[in-house]
Amino acid sequence: KQEVTQIPAALSVPEGENLVLNCSFTDSAIYNLQWFRQDPGKGLTSLLLIQSSQREQTSGRLNASLDKSSGRSTLYIAASQPGDSATYLCAVRTGAQKLVFGQGTRLTINP
């Protein structure tokens, strides 16, 4: 059974810092890995999707890496801003479009 773990559960940093969020998964047989953002009272928004054959994806100040063999992914946020405050979730696709989510990292960027 696939299990996804995110560390830390919560993170608070001052504005402008670079930061890394971690995600690990137990079964390396995945189709892809996605990072989502969730704002309070709202649904999830997809940030980055990494196919199993890829090593990383970049979008603006966000960079996600994938090491499938070790079951790890990181989300790097450069030059953090207060607007980046949200919960970040990683999810792996195991087949038939089924996503297994981690519990999320609640990020607070302090002005």
Partner 1 sequence: EAGVAQSPRYKIIEKRQSVAFWCNPISGHATLYWYQQILGQGPKLLIQFQNNGVVDDSQLPKDRFSAERLKGVDSTLKIQPAKLEDSAVYLCASSPPGLAGETQYFGPGTRLLVL
DSSP-derived 3-state class of residue 103: coil
Q: How far is the CB of 15 from partner 1 (least distance, A)?
A: 26
Contact 19, 80 (CB under 8 A): yes
Nearer to partner 1, 34 or 65 (CB): 34
Q: How far is the CB of 110 from partner 1 (least distance, A)?
A: 22
> For residue 74, what are the contacts with CB-CB under 8 A and spacing of at least 6?
20, 21, 22, 23, 64, 65
Nearer to partner 1, 45 or 110 (CB): 45
Residues engaged in binding partner 1 (CB under 8 A)? 4, 6, 32, 34, 41-46, 49, 89, 91, 93, 96-104
